[in-house]
Structure 1
Amino acid sequence: MFKTARFRLATMLCGLLLTTACSAAAPGDTAAPFTDGNQYVTLSAPYQRASSSGKVEVVEVFSYACIHCAEFSTYADELRKSLPKDVEFKLVPAPFNDSWVPFARAYYAAKKLGVLDRTHDLLFDKKFKEQYPINSMDEIADFYASQGVNRGQFMVIANSPEVDAQIKKDLALIQAWGVDGTPTIVVDGKYRSANIKSFGELVDLTKWLVQKELNTKQ
């Protein structure tokens, strides 16, 4: 069974056992390949989105502190590239506990400085594949400095009131979605991934939910 990294308050319980990916049928097939209440859940209205763009929204709730998110990152990259042009892919960093908040700060600082695209997967690789000690805010800042980012500027943005407010907003949104583990996918603030057996199945589920939502907007 595939398990996300799950949290209750400040307690981190991580576990993952990947089995063979289940192949999803096309959205138009007679029998739905995924079941509400099993692989995904339909959230209660009013649906809360991460943005107001009007496009169908795919959100990955993640953390740089989560090894499962690191393992999913390649799948997430391919998923983002495969989505229709009228669908947007977003990342929301999960500030589930004190040890994860610095990584959420890092995400927004990197985004503000325009280095997110080139450092996103690299941070995962350095932390988990190369096992660099990247945990504290100082260690995270050192990583970005090694990538040519001004360390002082990075720290100012990461610890700014604006980032404080965004992290607070993210936590409220994640709680409203009922997300308690990473990686989790939320489609249009309406559907949340649940009991998933593999990363491949999570990608297939996301594509199916996206098409389901697009169909309702036609």
Structure 2
Amino acid sequence: MFKRLSLLFVGLAMTAACSARPADDASTPAYTEGTQYVATGAPQRLDPKNGKVEVVEVFSYGCIHCAHYEPKVEQLQKDLPKGVVFHAIPAAFNDAWLPYAQAYYAAKKLNALPATHAALFKAIHEEHYPLRTLDELADWYAQHGVDKAKFLAAANSGETRDRILADTKLIQAWGIDGTPTIVVDGKYRSAQIKDFDELNGVATFLVDKELKGGK
């Protein structure tokens, strides 16, 4: 059932949204629709019931660019204006990334994300642990205090399956084919970004735009 979800992404290019170069001049941003950001094809919020401005990071533990971006997105969350909500959703672009999406939602259900989110990026991309299968991930989470049986039950649950399927459809509707990508209010997503500072700058710019009523 889970493997069939990745078929929804056949044909999508797994290109990175940015590289890790310093920003040229973060103090004077000039962001243009059609360049640094674009309108999504079908405006749709992750949480339509919440009226607050919404920022969503689309990521994967399997994406090295997301691992490099993690300290910056943590800073972005701290810098967002009061009342703006932040969400992260894991992209399951293929079978290789599907276990990471399952792991994210299992950790979230078990309240393990605060202690494991950044650590998992480090384990995969810096420490090069062999964390490719759900069972390998379950063992890693167990080493961080998460009950393995509960983790696997949550990862393989219908609730997690349905959440990943809904994410997949939403990511497609937003026109996303690479990670990390930032989406604001379901209306705009980051596009041609030269570095992580610019990605945060675009996110802040779009949040301000939405707070001003889209002007």
AA aligned to 1:22 is D
Match of 2:73 among 62, 73, 76: 76
Note if 1:22 corresponds to 2:24: yes
Q: Distance in 2 between matches of 1:22 and 1:214?
A: 26
Q: Is the 8 A contact 2:41 2:175 kept in 1?
A: no
Question: 1:50 and 2:50 equivalent?
Answer: no
Q: Does residue 112 in structure 1 map to residue 109 in structure 2? A: yes
Query: Aligned to 2:119, what secondary structure does the other structure show?
Result: helix
Equivalents in 2 of 1:10, 1:127: separation in Å?
26
Report the CA distance shift for 1:13/1:114 in structure 2 as closer, same or farther (over 3 A).
Answer: closer
Q: Is the 8 A contact 1:145 1:151 kept in 2?
A: yes
Q: In structure 1, which of residues 103, 110, 135 is the aligned counterpart of residue 100 of structure 2? A: 103
Structure 1 gap segments, 5+ residues each? 1-7, 27-31
What amino acid is the match of 2:125? Answer: F
> SS state of the match for residue 212, structure 2?
helix
**2:30 alignment counterpart:** 33
Q: 130, 136, 140: which one pairs with 1:139?
A: 136
Structure 2, unaligned stretches of length 5 or more? 1-8
What's the CA shift for 1:43? 2.1
The residue aligned with 1:182 is 179
Count of matched residue pairs: 206
CA distance in 1, matches of 2:145, 2:138: 11
Cα deviation, 1:20-53, whole Å, max 9, x if unaligned, reads: 3133456xxxxx71111000001245x2111121
Distance of 1:213 and 1:126 partners within structure 2: 36
Amino acid at match of 1:50: L
Distance in 1 (alpha carbons) for counterparts of 2:138 and 2:125: 17
Which of these residues, 58, 61, 72, is aligned with residue 61 of structure 1?
58
* Dislocated runs of 4+, deviation >3 Å: 10-20
| 2:10 match | 9
- Matched letter for residue 132 of structure 1: Y
- After TM superposition, the score normalised by the length of structure 2 is 0.90
Match for residue 151 of structure 1 among 122, 142, 148: 148
Map of 1:201-212 to 2, 5 A cutoff? 201-212=198-209
Instruction: State the one-letter code of the partner of 2:121.
Output: F
Q: Does the 8 Å contact 1:10/1:97 carry over to 2?
A: no
Give the Cα–Cα distance (whole angstroms) in 2 for the partners of residues 140 and 96 of structure 1: 18
Per the alignment, residue 4 of structure 1 pairs with none
Equivalent residue for 1:171?
168
Q: CA RMSD in A?
A: 2.1
Q: 2: CA distance between counterparts of 1:171 and 1:13?
A: 14
Identity level (%): 50
